[in-house]
Amino acid sequence: MSALLEVQGLQVAYGHIQAVKGIDLSLREGEITTLVGANGAGKSTTLLALSGLVKKNGGTVRFDGHDISRLAPHQIVARGVVQVAEGRAILTTMTVRENLELGAYTRKDRQAVGSDLERVFHLFPRLKERIDGMAGNLSGGEQQMLAIGRALMAKPRLLLLDEPSMGLAPIIVQEIFRTLRDINRDGLTIFLVEQNVRQALKIAHHGYVLETGEIVLADTGRTLLGHPRVLEAYLGA
């Protein structure tokens, strides 16, 4: 399976603090890849750099064979790389419908938007029940569903997810991860950043472990789940 996104030597610094220290990543098309690690390891910074939302101090990012390292965020989205931000970042004073429609604002295939909206409602029936309600009145889990649904409305080729399980009840976390697996089975490539190491590695084809800005392990999700270093550091074994 070919690589959809290739990262070589990615570096990001905040002043004198080197948050990401020359990492290499490869995301295979049609797979779920996860980047796991402790809080402050540099996971979210990595995603922000891929989306063009923070400045890179070095390295290259290639998507579908094209260098996107210097593109602006809206140009990266137009190429098909869409991020679901940490904390959801929904527009709370707009309705569920308006949030979802906003996700499709760059699209030219307006006739297909309606069918994609129905697909989101199939994935997240609760959003359809609350379609004309204010997004700010949704529960945390429903807001996460809305954030993912809005991203899907952009018709991405690569979906970047930053801590989708954060602050959610375990039963909702299970539901979110089941849906991510379903979305991936439909062919969407997913790059998942998570502190919930067990859940992330369970659904991932491949995984990377990031510690203080450096990748220390890379393997299949299943292999990493049983790796002694992962068991000791992240799974309480």
| Whole-prediction pTM | 0.93
Helix (H, G, I), strand (E, B) or coil at 158: strand
Domains and CATH numbers, the chain: 3-234 (3.40.50.300)
**Residue 88's beta-bridge partner residues?**
none
Q: In sequence order, what are the residues at sequence separation of 6 or more whose Cβ sits closer than 8 angstroms to the Cβ of residue 54?
A: 12, 45, 48
Residue 111, pLDDT score: 78
Per-residue pLDDT of the chain (237 residues; tens, 9 = 90+): 679 999 999 999 999 999 999 999 999 999 999 999 988 899 999 999 999 999 999 999 999 999 999 999 999 999 999 999 887 688 889 999 999 999 988 777 877 888 899 999 999 999 999 999 999 999 999 999 999 999 999 999 999 999 998 888 899 999 999 999 999 999 999 999 998 899 999 999 999 999 999 999 999 999 999 999 999 988 775
Length of the chain, in residues: 237
Residue 1, pLDDT score: 64
Q: In sequence order, what are the residues at sequence separation of 6 or more whose Cβ sits closer than 8 angstroms to the Cβ of residue 64?
A: 4, 5, 79, 80, 157
Cβ count near 217 (within 10 Å): 17
Residue 2, pLDDT score: 78
